[in-house]
Structure 1
Amino acid sequence: MSDLHYIVRTPKIPVEKPSLLILLHGYGSNEQDLFSFAEELPDNLLIVSAQAPLSMGFGGYAWYTINFDDKNGKFSDLKEAKESIDKIAIFIDEIKKKYNTNSDKTFLLGFSQGAILSYSLSFFYPNKIQHVIVLSGYINTELLPEKISTDIKTDYYCSHGSVDQVLPVEWARNSKPFLDKLGFNNVYSEYNVGHGVAPQNFYSFKKWIEERL
C-alpha cells in the first residue's frame, strides 16, 4: 500500500477504461494546488492529485526534505526522494487497478519537486507511465538508476520559466540534450515567468495531452 492521500476528478463523460493523469505538487504545497488545472483539462480524463507524505505544517507537504547548511548550501535528502518515487509507483498501480484505467495511457504531471520525481520515476520504472509533463523541474542526476533502459517509450513535455528564481533555468535546459542522447521523444519550451505556470504554458501542455488521448 502506498498510503498517499489523494483527490479525484472522475471523467465528465462516461468512459469504460479512462486515460489517467496523476498530478504531483511541488515542495511545501499540497494536493489542492495542481488540482486547479483539473476543470480545464479534457473531459474524458481521470485526474488524480496526490499529496506528498512529509508534512511541513500549515497545510504544506514535501516529497523529500530540502536541507540548508552553511557549508553545502541547499541539498536534497535523496533517500527520502527515492522512497517517495517507490511510493508513487505503487500508488499509480493502485489507482490503475481501482479505477480500471487504460494502462496504455497514463500521464504523470509534476511541478517543481514533483517534476523532478516524475523524471526519476520514468527512469526507475520503465514504461509504467507513457507520458510525462514536467513543469519547472529538472533531471537530478543523483536520482537516476545505475543504467537507464533503452526500451523506454515514454515521451516528455518539459517547460520552465526563463526567470525562475527557485530552480535556475540552466538546470532545466540540460534536460533536452540528456533525453535526446538517450533517444527519448521530448519537447522543451520556456516562458517569461518565474517559478510558476504561465497561461500560454498551460494551453501548450493541455494541447500536448489532447494529442495523446
Structure 2
Amino acid sequence: MNLQYLVREPKIRLDKNPLLLLLHGYGSNEEDLFSFAAELPEDSFVISVRAPYILEPYGHAWYAIHFDADENKFSDNEQAKESVALIGIFIDEIVKQYPIDTENVTLIGFSQGAILSYATALTYPEKISKVVALSGYFNQDIAPEVIDTKAISHLKFFISHGTVDQVIPVDWARKAKPALENLGLEVVYHEYPVGHGVAPQNFFDFKNWIIQNNNK
C-alpha cells in the first residue's frame, strides 16, 4: 500500500459498500478528519489517508507551499500532480482489499485535501463519483489540460467555505462553481460565517448531501 491510512468499516454490510475517502489539509495527518468518521453514514467504508510529505514535527502535506521574498505563497504543482497520481493508485489498491462499490467512491477533502480532490476527480473520473470540497479551491493548474466532459459528466460536487477564512480567501472558493458548471457538472455550493474550518451546520449539510446522492 503506497499511503498509510485509517479505516472505519461499515456497520451496515452490503455486497459492496460505498467508500468515503478523507484527504486532510496541509500540516495535518490522517487522524484529523477521521475524528468525525463515527458520524458519517453507517453503510460506508470511511478511509482517511496520510499525505506523503513529512512536515516536522508531526504533520504531513500533499505538496509543498513556498514563500518568496515578498511573502507571496505559491504551490508546488508538480508535487501536487504526483500526489493526485498516488491517490489514484491508492484507490485501485483499496478497492481490491475491501468490498467497495467502485461506482460509489466519494472524496472528502479539507483545504489542501480539497484542492487535490478537485484535481483527482477530474483526472480519474472513472474511479470517483462525488467530491466534498471543504475550505479549498479549484487549482486548474493541477487538473488535466484537456478534460473529457463526457467522461466526467457523472461527477457531483459539494463545495463549502467559511466567509471569514483567513487561509484560503472565500473569493478563491467561489470560482469553483462556475468553472465546474462550465464543464457541465452538478455543483452545490454553501458558505458559512466561519474561518478555516468545518462548522457543525456545514458537516450536517454535506452529510445529508452524501446520503441523498448515495443511490443516484
TM-score by length of 1: 0.97
Q: What displacement does 1:59 show?
A: 1.5
Q: What displacement does 1:37 show?
A: 1.4
Give the residue type in structure 2 aligned to 1:192: P
Q: What displacement does 1:14 show?
A: 2.3
Q: How does 1:46-65 map to 2 (within 5 A)?
A: 46-65=45-64
* Offset from partner CA, 1:104-140 (integer Å, 9 cap, x none): 1111100000000000111111231000000001101
What is the distance in 2 between the residues matched to 1:48 and 1:126? 19
Provide the secondary structure at the position in 1 that maps to 2:204.
Answer: helix
What is the distance in 1 between the residues matched to 2:131 and 2:10? 20
Partner of 2:25: 26
**Identity across matched positions, percent:** 55
Give the residue type in structure 1 aligned to 2:48: S
TM-score by length of 2: 0.95
Partner of 1:106: 105
Give the residue type in structure 2 aligned to 1:16: D
2:186 counterpart of 1:185: yes
Provide the secondary structure at the position in 1 that maps to 2:21.
Answer: strand
Q: How does 1:1-213 map to 2 (within 5 A)?
A: 3-71=2-70, 73-151=72-150, 152=152, 153-213=154-214
What is the distance in 2 between the residues matched to 1:204 and 1:71? 39
What is the distance in 2 between the residues matched to 1:46 and 1:126? 20
Paired positions, count? 212
Give the residue type in structure 1 aligned to 2:169: P
What is the distance in 1 between the residues matched to 2:37 and 2:108? 12
What is the distance in 1 between the residues matched to 2:75 and 2:197? 21
1:127·1:154 contact (CA, 8 Å) conserved in 2? no
Provide the secondary structure at the position in 2 that maps to 1:188.
Answer: strand
Gaps of 5+ in 2: none
1:18·1:100 contact (CA, 8 Å) conserved in 2? yes
Gaps of 5+ in 1: none
* Offset from partner CA, 1:166-210 (integer Å, 9 cap, x none): 000000000111011111011101000000000000000000011
What is the distance in 2 between the residues matched to 1:125 and 1:41? 24
What is the distance in 1 between the residues matched to 2:53 and 2:147? 28
What is the distance in 1 between the residues matched to 2:13 and 2:99? 13
Q: Provide the alpha-carbon RMSD of the alignment.
A: 1.0
What is the distance in 2 between the residues matched to 1:91 and 1:167? 27
* Offset from partner CA, 1:143-183 (integer Å, 9 cap, x none): 12111111111100000000000000000000111011111
Provide the secondary structure at the position in 1 that maps to 2:168.
Answer: coil
Provide the secondary structure at the position in 1 that maps to 2:97.
Answer: helix
Give the residue type in structure 1 aligned to 2:183: L
